[in-house]
Structure formats: C-alpha cells, structure tokens
Amino acid sequence: MYMNNYTITDKVHVSLYARDLTNRAGWETSDPFAVVTLLEGTTTRILGKTEVIQNSLSPNWTKTFCLDYSLGRQTHFNVGVWDSSPRQGGKNKPMGSAVFEIGDVLGSPGSVKSKRLREGGILFVRVVKAQPTAGTLHVSSIRGLNLLNVEGGALFGGKSDPFFTITRKVIVRGEVTSIVVYRSDYCKNTLNPNWKGFEIGMDQLCDGDPNQPLLISVFDYEHSGRHTAMGTVDVSVSSLVGRGTATFSLRHRGKPAGAIEFLGGQINKAPLLSSSTYATPIAVPSSGFQAIKQPTFVDYISGGCEIHMCVAIDFTGSNGDPRVPGTLHYIHPDGRPNEYEKVLTSISSILMKYDSDKKIPVLGFGAKINGVLNNCFQCGPTQEAYGTNGVIDAYRSTLRSGLTLSGPTYFTDIIKSAASKATLDHVSCFW
C-alpha cells in the first residue's frame, strides 16, 4: 500500500545578468544593480535587490531570488536596472526594465530568456528549480598565499587589492556560458589576503552535484571596473570539503601565481522534506519507511527535457450539431470563441511555452470525411500549425470543410500518432 502526499508548487531560483547597458554616469561608468518586483494581479511586491557592480556595463549579479511556481499559473515579475549614484546625492538613475514570466523563461533554451532594454543593452534571466535537500556549502574562511602582484611591484611600492570569484558553466542556446555565482570582498594592499567565509546553496553553486567543475579566479580590484587577473584554478565542491584545509595552486598565463586556501569547508545537509514537491510512498511491510523524491514538471524541464506539443480534437457526434447555437462546436457569427476554442487557447497558452519551435500538429478524431469514418486526421491545410492562433485557424477550417460528426470515441490511432512523433530527445504531450 502506498500513499502520495504532495503539492504542485515548486520553488525556483531567479538569477540575473546583463550585457552592454547604456552608461548613465557621464564621464565615469555606471554602477548597476537590479530590483526584482513580483507582479501579483493589481498588486506588486518587491522581492529585493542585487548587489551593486561597480563600473560595469555588463554586470553579473550573484544575488538570486526565490519564487513559487506552479504549472498553469502565470507568475510575472519585473526587473528594473538602476545606476547607483551616490555621487549625485544618492539619486539612482534608471537604466531599463523588463517583465518576465517564469514559464516563458523555463521554456526557453537553457532556461534563460533575454530581453532588449529600451534604454539600451540586454537583460538576461535564468530560472532553475531550487533544491533545498542538496544542502549548502559552508566555508569558514579563505586566504591567499603569496599571490602574484600585478600592481606594479617594487618599482612603485604598491601591492594588489585581491578578491576572488567562483564561476560555473551553463549551456545557453547550445553555447557554454560562464555565470558568476559568488564574489568576495577585496582586501586592500596585500598579497596574503584573508577573506571572510561564506555559505551558498549547492543548487545555486553546482546543481547539487559536488563533482561539477567550478573556476576560482583571483583579481586585483580596480575602481574603474577593469580588474586585473591574478590567477585561476579549476576546483569542485568535493575537492573543497572534508579536508580541514584545501589548498590550490593558482596559475596565471601558464605560470605559478601563488595559492588559495579554503578552511573548514563542509556541506550542511538540509532536512529531507522541505518546500520542494515530494511524494512520500509509505511502505507498510516491516522494511520500514522510505521517502522517495517525486520528480515534478520543473525537474524535467530543468533537466533538459524538450516538449513537442500535439493537439487532438474530439469531433464525435456527442458534441452536438455544430450548426445549432449552444453546442460545443458552434461557431458564433460575432467571432466569440466556442467552448472548444476557449479550452484550446487556455491549454496551448500554457504548454506552448515549453515547445521550442511552437509548431503544433493538430489532429482530429471521430468524424466522417467523404462518408468514411476517420479516427486520426489532420486539421488545417498544413501538418503543423504555428502558435495558438494557428491551432484555432486549423480547428475552424476543419469545421468548415464539410466533415460529419460521428463516432465512436476511439483514441488508439491518436495515441499511436503522438507516440510516433516522440524521439529520444522530444516528449510528445497531447491534449
């Protein structure tokens, strides 16, 4: 005996970055930050703001935002980008804004969607499922050892002001993109810096995979934003934890560039059950209890599953004579949608977000065409309709083609047709 106890809501992380923003700081370079506002009907709720990235028109913000998402419920949020301007008496200047919908982002390649800002530049949003059970990476402190001095050396007597970043790789539209997931403060005038410890979610850091490669990069901080590279090293979470002290040698242009040490690295596990969606099968036999994670829709999408939507429409006689007002297939002279058109629009507007090419096969069943019963036939003049409007046009043209509603209600041919369209890389979802 098994019992399922689950909700349909997932928690997702929203991360942001931008490219080629328009400068709003005059002779200097803007210091952009972003504000995320959840749009809930006629009300709004500010979720928070990112850190300020000084002197950059292509910022990579590390701050993420957690939102609830349910399939079928549209969740919109606004991202406003501002230039932090303490030099102008604290009056921040707008650099652009855009509204995103979580389902649209999840359905985009790599779960990344971009929008061009009216003021100039492109804003990118990435949405991934939160995995609280993956735990967090905790590091007590970090220090640099005999780092490479890129400040000018003995000739000028100065030393670098080092900080470091942690970067992960993600695939966006078939290309590998680097995303900064952590950025430390900088330590002034030292080659042996002591940075503060940090704690970061394993889902944000490496999708919960401790063996996923990460890049540690050390830079010399410059107020201009043109930070100078001091060295890099490839690591993974598994190489940072369980050792007390994990030391890594840095390289810069192929040569030794000092080292970086992570002290007290450990993964703090979260409770098994959390705000994510789980089914909890309960086994009655003496083997005891077993908690098994139940994959959700967002799990499949985040894992790279691609959906190919297919629509099947019931043209059996049980729908009533389409020439009679009040029946399900009746086409209103004033253009009002009938019951089938309402459902087609509602369903396709949700599922089509996750179909990358928006080309939808529209099939019909249960009608006689030229006097012959057909339980799987093409609706419309083409094999695939484009978008919701194309689906509606295919449906209407079929009703006007002179077919006769018949029966019985027989799904087998439709299911076989949908299954034949599925490949190893595409899952056909039909309605």
pLDDT of amino acid 155: 54
Report the alpha-carbon distance of residue 48 to residue 394 in Å, rounded. 45
Q: What is the pTM of this model?
A: 0.70
Which of 293, 302, 314, 431 has the alpha carbon at shortest distance from 361? 431
Residue type, 340: Y
Report the alpha-carbon distance of residue 315 to residue 364 in Å, rounded. 7
Report the alpha-carbon distance of residue 219 to residue 164 in Å, rounded. 6
pLDDT of amino acid 393: 94
Secondary structure class of 344 (helix, strand, coil): helix
Residue type, 254: G
Residue 136's alpha-carbon distances to 207, 278, 291, in angstroms, are: 11, 20, 21
* Contact (Cβ atoms closer than 8 angstroms) between residue 379 and residue 395: yes
Report the alpha-carbon distance of residue 82 to residue 87 in Å, rounded. 14
Residue type, 375: N
- Beta-strand ranges (E) seen in 28-183 are 32-40, 43-49, 65-70, 76-83, 93-101, 112-116, 122-129, 136-145, 162-172, 175-183
pLDDT less than 70: residues of the chain: 1-8, 86-90, 152-157, 171-175, 270-294, 302-304, 423-431
Query: What's the half-sphere exposure (Cβ side, CA atoms, 13 Å) at 61?
Result: 28
Query: What's the half-sphere exposure (Cβ side, CA atoms, 13 Å) at 311?
Result: 35
**Which strand (E) or helix (H) includes residue 341?**
helix 339-351
State yes or no: cis peptide before 213, omega within 30 of 0.
Answer: no
pLDDT of amino acid 284: 36
**In the chain, what are the domains?**
9-130 (2.60.40.150), 133-268 (2.60.40.150), 305-430 (no CATH)
* Contact (Cβ atoms closer than 8 angstroms) between residue 48 and residue 65: yes
pLDDT of amino acid 172: 62
